[in-house]
Structure 1
Amino acid sequence: MKSIAVLLFAFLLGCVIAQAKKNTQPVNPNGSLVQVQIISRHCDRLPSASSKIPADPIDWQLVSGLALGDLTGLGQQQCRELGEHLRERYLSEDASSRISGITANYNASMFSFRSTNFDRALNSMQTIALGLFPDKTGDRATVNYLAKNDKGKKKWALPHGQQAVPIHTVADDYENLLLGFTYCNTVQKRYNTAFGTKALAYLNANRTFVNQLYTATGWTTGDLTISTLIDLLIVQKAHNMLNIKWVNDNWTQVLKMRDDVLSLLYSYDVMGKEGSSVLIQTLIENMNSLNKKYIHYSAHDSTLQALTGSLKLNQDSDYAFLGGQPNYGAHIVAELYQTAAGNKTVRFMHGNQFDSTSLTPLILKNLGCQTEYCPLETFTQLTSQYSTTTNWCVDCANKGKVVCAPYFLSVVTPCTTSTN
């Protein structure tokens, strides 16, 4: 009897120790993680242009049954996997970097989802949410919120306990949050100048290789449409449908050329204070208000490139990879930490693509913050000086843009008229 008691005590002690180890999280001197804001690129899509590669033509709409630019089935798989990894990192009870006080299932007071008004971005956000909130987490009551058998834990509103989430968006012409650089005349002018000078100079310096690419693909419209050609090649390569030997043999060099050109077009000199001003200011507003714990923006490669450009990240030799085209599902995370005294620090992290299980810390050295954890007050001051503008519509010379119509209408001096 005594031996049984000893064994039982040892067993219980072992369980307690194991649970203690499981619940032990390393103490962060910067406090608890209280909020994350994620900006992610959509996942695998069809080409967005109707052009075809002359030497290897594919009618994508015919073979896929999708519209140009749509998220593919592969893209849905990728984005769901991204959602699963983000759940494991930030939501699960045993998550390595669990957000303080967050629920593992959807709660409208804690979560917010926003997308551009492109089908591929909206569809990406939908499938990310499927990964964030897997089956059997959709505990939403259907009729009587007081009845024990109708709280959703045994009776779900949707099959398999799926969870539908609201995804917010705006009309294309009003998208100054996630595509502000596109709708800013000042940035577009600098972008076109950079392409006409630096980018074309780069292509001319590599003319032999560029012409070999044109010859191999049968491309005849030249440098002004080279981005369309490379996009077509990337899509066909991703789906094992690229049948041009020279391109396959020189694939690494093709991607390097693409990234070298993009790094010239999305530099700080081009993006400046206007390129991601509205986005950065919104991130800061969310950090100050703490109205939500998890905020996710579904956007595009150019959104990430413009953001890293405005934050001077892609000028840092340690993060040169940020200047190129982000992979499908690549994401930037703004993690906000808060101490018991209320002091807030922000840490930026980078996920290379949809299946990244670990994130790379990004130190804003060129912006002026020399530590991985940047005090929010310092970050706000630095971005105010280098990365945002106090009047985006005016500084973008956007008087003719729909997105700025409310601003310019509000500052027009009314005329006083009289009739006889």
Structure 2
Amino acid sequence: MKWKILTSTGVLGAAVCSCTARTLLADSDPNILEDETSAHSTDNRLTLKQAQVFFRHGARTTIHTIPKLEEAVYDVKVLRHLIPHTAFTLDLVNYDTGGPKTKSHLDEHYEKKKLSGGCVAGQLTTLGQQQCFSLGQKLKEEYVHKAKLISEDFDPSTVFGRSTNVQRTIESLRCVMAGMFGAQNLRKIAPVKVYVADTKTEVLFPNIQRCHVLQQNNHSVLFHIADKPEYLPSRHKLEEAFGVNFKDYVGLNFVGIRDDLVARKAHGLPVPSYALPLWDMIELMASRMMYATFCGQHKAERDLITRLSTGPLMTYVMDNIRDLEENKRDAKKLFLFATHDSTIVGLLGLLDIWDEQWPPYSVDLRVELYENENKEKFIQVLYMGKPKKVRGCDSTLCSLDQFRKAMKPFMIRDKEFFAICKSDILEKIDKEIKEEEKGEVQTEEIREQSETPAGM
């Protein structure tokens, strides 16, 4: 594997990255991944009836910084300028009440961390805007030109846009919509209504804050997984390379180290030479850590954690399909969901197509509903543009009944969700959880990190 240390700064620096690691290139530019022909372009007997698109936000400034490593300079004048062809006004509506969106707890969390160069942690960059705009253009080609699912003009009766209550995902949704419908056209009808839920009801990412069981698992992964035998040798290599001890810094872990390095590489910022030989190991350990957070650390708890973290979202997906089946007045043909890596990891785990690869910036996962001439319905799931054979299905094109049967064990409504979340079920399944918590001093910093999903 060949690597080049990047010393240029700004967006142009990312364009000249010559590293050849597939995952890292994908984080910088997901469009390098080859598309695979989807159902609506291979079988004329099938008609696309609905598509639900979940996409990760575009490239962002780092959320974590590695102790003792000189901070990268995130020049706000270079990395945060607005791209004109993505600019139009959004009307941010509270999904639950129909009123204005509420304050973002996560944005308040990010704003506490000021970065060298004028940016703050977790901000969508100019590069990220362009990545999401390009995704929008790709979706336009698929759903407007090829499948003819929707028209070229934005129509809120057929298209539904929703974002998590985080500035970078809201901006990413704007850029995707600009790529699909044209910012110039959207300005004529602006402000364009999109929806944002309260944190207490959010299902677009694994909601640690409203579930004690998920919080327990999140805390265990963030603060204790690096002590376990399968992670410890890798941890020691990183500690030696970076001259740090995980125990000396609250929340220092594989995910945080990866986050700092990936944000640097994506934006053409300096990366220490000693980190490059360790990249594949960092990538693998961080990805496994994320999977453990949202899909369980052990086989015995896998279905439980997956159901609590992503089951509410899959329930929402299936409800949207049902609404279209029943010809409900507010049923939509296209859903655009601006989300996070945690969302994608959870969905990949639930669908049983997890590949131990961190979801790159602006990557998309789609759930498509088709109908044939006999009115029989089918589901196709695409990840990175490629059809996937998901849990419980015999092929990449799965009957809706078969798909619904496979998803049913993970679907969950609020009453059951909160009953399980308040229980001690995880402690009964995973005895280590209780042992890990003994003697711990819960500082405000530890508590805040425990309540924030890994990677966010």
Taking structure 2 as the reference length, the TM-score comes to 0.65
* Equivalence for 1:342: 375
Give the whole-Å Cα distance in 1 for the aligned partners of 2:66 and 2:239.
Answer: 18
SS at match of 2:338: strand
* Equivalence for 1:378: 402
* Equivalence for 1:141: none
Q: Specify the structure having the higher radius of gyration (Cα).
A: 1
* Equivalence for 2:351: 311
How far residue 225 of structure 1 moved from its aligned partner, in angstroms, is 1.2
The Cα offsets for residues 315-355 of structure 1, whole Å up to 9 and x where unpaired, read as xxxxx2xx33210011110010012333211111001xxxx
- Contact 1:41–1:299 (CA<8 Å) still a contact in 2? yes
* Equivalence for 2:59: 44
SS at match of 1:250: helix
- Contact 2:389–2:395 (CA<8 Å) still a contact in 1? yes
Q: Which of residues 259, 283, 288 is equivalent to 2:317?
A: 283
* Equivalence for 1:27: 43
Alignment of 1:44-63 (within 5 A): 44-49=59-64, 51=65, 53-58=67-72, 60=74, 61=114, 63=116
Q: Which of residues 74, 79, 82 is equivalent to 2:127?
A: 74
How far residue 308 of structure 1 moved from its aligned partner, in angstroms, is 1.7
How far residue 58 of structure 1 moved from its aligned partner, in angstroms, is 3.5
Letter in 2 for 1:36: A
Alignment of 1:160-175 (within 5 A): 165-175=192-202
Letter in 1 for 2:137: E
Give the whole-Å Cα distance in 1 for the aligned partners of 2:42 and 2:235.
Answer: 54
* Equivalence for 2:434: none
Q: Which of residues 273, 292, 295 is equivalent to 1:245?
A: 273
SS at match of 1:381: helix
Alignment of 1:21-420 (within 5 A): 26-29=42-45, 31-49=46-64, 51=65, 53-58=67-72, 60=74, 61=114, 63-92=116-145, 95=146, 98-100=147-149, 102-134=150-182, 137-138=185-186, 157=188, 165-180=192-207, 183-193=210-220, 199-201=226-228, 202-215=230-243, 221=248, 224-226=251-253, 227-267=255-295, 269-270=301-302, 271-290=305-324, 291-314=331-354, 320=355, 323-351=356-384, 359-364=385-390, 367-385=391-409, 387-390=410-413, 391-397=416-422
Give the whole-Å Cα distance in 2 for the aligned partners of 1:176 and 1:324.
Answer: 23
Give the whole-Å Cα distance in 1 for the aligned partners of 2:222 and 2:71.
Answer: 28
Shift of the 181–275 alpha-carbon distance from structure 1 to 2, 3 Å rule, reads: farther
The Cα offsets for residues 373-418 of structure 1, whole Å up to 9 and x where unpaired, read as 2222222222112x2224222222289xxxxxxxxxxxxxxxxxxx
The Cα offsets for residues 154-182 of structure 1, whole Å up to 9 and x where unpaired, read as xx837xxxx65322102223313433355
How far residue 25 of structure 1 moved from its aligned partner, in angstroms, is 6.0
SS at match of 1:276: helix
Shift of the 186–52 alpha-carbon distance from structure 1 to 2, 3 Å rule, reads: closer
How far residue 253 of structure 1 moved from its aligned partner, in angstroms, is 3.2
Long gaps (5+) in structure 1 = 1-23, 139-155, 315-319, 352-358, 400-420
Letter in 2 for 1:392: F
Shift of the 99–333 alpha-carbon distance from structure 1 to 2, 3 Å rule, reads: farther
Give the whole-Å Cα distance in 2 for the aligned partners of 1:223 and 1:63.
Answer: 21
RMSD (Å), alpha carbons: 2.8
The number of aligned residues is 330
- Contact 1:44–1:74 (CA<8 Å) still a contact in 2? yes
SS at match of 1:275: helix
How far residue 262 of structure 1 moved from its aligned partner, in angstroms, is 2.7
Give the whole-Å Cα distance in 2 for the aligned partners of 1:233 and 1:300.
Answer: 18
Give the whole-Å Cα distance in 2 for the aligned partners of 1:349 and 1:189.
Answer: 32
The Cα offsets for residues 171-204 of structure 1, whole Å up to 9 and x where unpaired, read as 2233134333553222332344456665532321
* Equivalence for 2:28: none
SS at match of 1:33: strand
- Contact 1:198–1:264 (CA<8 Å) still a contact in 2? no
How far residue 311 of structure 1 moved from its aligned partner, in angstroms, is 2.6
Long gaps (5+) in structure 2 = 1-39, 75-113, 325-330, 425-456
Give the whole-Å Cα distance in 1 for the aligned partners of 2:246 and 2:208.
Answer: 29
- Contact 1:53–1:218 (CA<8 Å) still a contact in 2? no
- Contact 1:111–1:292 (CA<8 Å) still a contact in 2? yes
Give the whole-Å Cα distance in 2 for the aligned partners of 1:267 and 1:380.
Answer: 20
Give the whole-Å Cα distance in 2 for the aligned partners of 1:327 and 1:130.
Answer: 21
How far residue 305 of structure 1 moved from its aligned partner, in angstroms, is 0.7
SS at match of 2:54: strand
Q: Which moved further from structure 2: 284-293 or 268-277? A: 268-277
SS at match of 2:252: helix
Shift of the 243–282 alpha-carbon distance from structure 1 to 2, 3 Å rule, reads: closer
How far residue 108 of structure 1 moved from its aligned partner, in angstroms, is 1.2
How far residue 233 of structure 1 moved from its aligned partner, in angstroms, is 1.9
Give the whole-Å Cα distance in 2 for the aligned partners of 1:370 and 1:64.
Answer: 52
- Contact 2:239–2:245 (CA<8 Å) still a contact in 1? no
- Contact 2:290–2:342 (CA<8 Å) still a contact in 1? no
